Each structure stands twice: as C-alpha cells, then as structure tokens.
Structure 1
Amino acid sequence: MHLDKFDLAILKVLQDDARASLNDIGAAVGLSATPCWNRIKRMEREGVIRGYTADISPEALGFMDTVIVHVTLESHSDATLYEFGRALAEIPEVLEAFLVSGDYDYIIRIAVRDTRDYERLLRERLYRIPGIRHSKSGFVLRSLKQSRLPLSAVAPAA
C-alpha cells in the first residue's frame, strides 16, 4: 500500500493517541474529518492499522520485573517450532517471543512480579515445554528506550 504524507501524519497522530477524535486528527494533519475517516478505514482494511490498544503500566498491576530469556531447542523441525510457539502463546506472562538467528533460537520477554514469581514460572510453565536444550535469563535493570514505529523515517509515496 502506498502511504502519502497525510496517511503518515494520521498514523503518527493515532500512534501518539489512538483515542484522538476525527476533528483533532484532521486539525493535526490539515484535512477535514471525512477524508481522515476514509483514510483510516482504508488503512484498517489494508492491514496498516492492526488495531487500537491501551498502553498499560505493568508496574501498576504488580509486574515489577521484566526478564529476557534466550532459549535453544533440541530440534528445529517444523513440529518442534510449532509446538514451542503454541506453548509460549499459552503463558500469559510472555509478552513477546521472537524466533531469531544466532546462538539461540528464541528471545522471549516475560513480565513477572519478582524473582520468586519468575522461579515459579520457570518450574511450572517454561521448563515443562518439551524440547528445550538450554536457556539463559537476564533481568532487565532499567528500560532505556521503548519506542514505536519510526514513522518519520518512512518516505511518503509520490
């Protein structure tokens, strides 16, 4: 899909505040509400806009720690990769999981309440997934940057 400067401007407004009104979006990008609405609907249909979410603080809900886990599997068969991915999807504390190249097969980001909670999660959930050969965990000490898509780096279609 080709995105022009208005589409990119609309995306930036929505990325900053998904609850912005059509009038506010239009004022920010220099269009009236109807063209903004049509562009938003088109970007939703085309899959550019995947949905709208609330940015919830994990700490406010008691999840004080984030753990990054590197996992290597015993096998790389399609069935093993599928089953591992399916098992991770069933663990609510798993925030993100990436199949990666390099020394490990997966990098997983997990939210936990504390070290005891992580130890419980390892015993009761993660280590019960068949096929794990090796894992390495590291607690996040501080988040230096949490970013969104760099829309300013996207060139508008001519």
Structure 2
Amino acid sequence: MESWFFWALGSAVFAACTAVLAKLGLRGVDADLATLIRTGIIAVLLSLFVAFTGKWSNPLLLSGKNWLFLGLSGLATGASWTCYFRALQLGEASKVAPVDKLSLVLVAVFAVLFLGERPAPREWLGIGLVALGVLVLAMRRG
C-alpha cells in the first residue's frame, strides 16, 4: 500500500472512470457548472476522509511557501478541470482523455526545468512515445 506505483495506478484507473462518468454527467449541463458540482463533492469527501482518518492539522500552521505552492496548484487544478470538462462536452472522451495525458510529457519537462529531476534515457523514450501517441490520436480524422 505504500508503493508509489500502486497509488499512481489507482490514479489512472480513477481518471479513466472520471472521463467516462463526466461525459455521461455533462449531458444537458454546462461544463462550468458541472466542474463546480464535481469540485464541491470532492471538497466534502476529502474533508470527511481527512477528519475520519485523523489526518487533520491546523492549516494556519503551514508555511507561506506551502500556501503559495498549494494555492497555485489549486488554481492550476481548477483551470485544468475547467478545460477538461469543456473538452469533454465538445468532444469524444476517447479523444479528449489521451490528449489530456500530454500532461505526462509536460510534467517530465517541468520536473527537469523546475525540480532538477533527470529522467534516464529509457524514461525519455517512454515519454517520447507518449507524446507521439498523443499526436497520432490528435491527428485522427472525425
């Protein structure tokens, strides 16, 4: 349960469910309103989870740097979800979700630029293949 891979795989499974369930839920609903509803549900569920697992601590004790980067991450998440739901409303989930995964390539580039991470050549090959796959899917006609 403490392996990063286990949690990353869970993230992938739930992200796949998110795309399909969101596409079904967007029928006849504005994408921005749908994003707000989803966000509210997430806030309530995470609040309950943190409270019931005893992980609550005073957020006012966090450093200014923590607040800054968590706040910026929240803004980026909100912008990502807004774009994702709009794309799902306009396009097919099977086309939108793979393009959204271009984020994998961007994370690798940003991690090198801002975090000093250095993926191995084999990892760059995988990242490049993901980028190529996104391009192939994006060029698909229809």
Same fold (TM over 0.5): no
Name the structure where strand makes up a greater proportion of residues.
1
Give the TM-score taking structure 2 as reference length: 0.28
Larger Rg: 1
Give the TM-score taking structure 1 as reference length: 0.26
Name the structure where helix makes up a greater proportion of residues.
2
